[in-house]
Amino acid sequence: MKYICLICIFFQLSVHAQNNPGARSKALGSASTALEDIWSLQLNSAGIASIERVIFALGYEQHFLDPELSTQSAILGVPIKDYVLGLSFQRYGITEYLEQTAGIALSRKYSDALSIALSMNYHQVSIPFYGSENTISVDVGMQYSLNDKLRLGTAITNPGRSKINDLSGSQIPTGISVGLAFDLSDKVLFLSDLTKILDYGMNFRMGIEYQIVKSFNLRGGISANPFRQTGGFGFKFGRISIDAAISSHPRLGYSPNLSLNYEF
């Protein structure tokens, strides 16, 4: 089973899929460049600028239904005057291959329409008998609301092209994404993203969220490269939110995802 896990890990690396954006985003096809959410810390930190209370969140994704291969995430959003400070930690892999990422982000609303964020991330990769390597990368993000219903977003990942030199296959992606969030009605949210990773093809992502009742949402989405289908739901009980998602990979199968958010 461990050999299968290693094959899955290196396949994941080739498509830069090890980042966990949270179950809500995952259910929406990860089309989250223009989404306002605490889990925006993982994709476009400008999306946390509207947070008004401290929020702590935990996430878990089991890759391809294999209990030995998973991603665990913890994030924190803290409003400080005109800014929102975001802290994140993520662990991915197994004993034979382990990635850990810690990040800090600062996001601010410069007007009712414009939000800008800067993130710094510390990456560490560890492989037994080969040792470990680390590096730092920087991301930038922006969101702009054209009106009450339409919001645009863009994020640039690792523009400095930081990389982990000595461990083959360990690459931090450099790319740009643009997206939109459109409130079709009071109950329906439509999201779409177009993403380009340097040296790889473009990817189109799309998702729809439907609020059945005030505390319950259904979600679905797709991703084009590789083709993935995603779905999930979310509950909100007072200050607690629970989101669940599942995504399918055409070769490797299904990956369930669960997130828990608490608003102080």
The Cα–Cα gap between 21 and 101 comes to 13
Q: Pick the closest to residue 232 from 21, 22, 28, 37 (CA basis).
A: 28
pLDDT in tens, 97-140: 889 999 999 999 999 999 999 999 999 998 887 788 899 999 99
- Residue 204, pLDDT score: 96
Burial per residue of 171-200, b for 16 or more beta-carbon CB atoms within 10 angstroms, e otherwise: bbbbbbbbbbbeeeeeeebbbbbbbebeee
Q: Pick the closest to residue 155 from 201, 194, 110 (CA basis).
A: 194
Q: Domains of the chain by range and CATH?
A: 2-263 (2.40.160.60)
Tokens of 116: 């800008």
- Residue 136, pLDDT score: 94
Beta-bridge mates of residue 211: 217
**pLDDT above 50 for 5:** no
pLDDT in tens, 10-36: 444 443 446 789 999 999 999 999 999
Q: How far apart are the first and last CA of the chain?
A: 41
- Residue 166, pLDDT score: 58
- Residue 141, pLDDT score: 97
- In 225-252, which ranges are E strands? 227-237, 240-249
Split at pLDDT 50, 70, 90, the class of 7 is very low
Q: How far is CA 142 from CA 110, 186, 200, 223, 257, in A?
A: 11, 24, 23, 22, 27
pLDDT in tens, 164-186: 875 555 678 899 999 999 999 99
Query: Considering the chain, what is the average pLDDT of its residues?
Result: 90
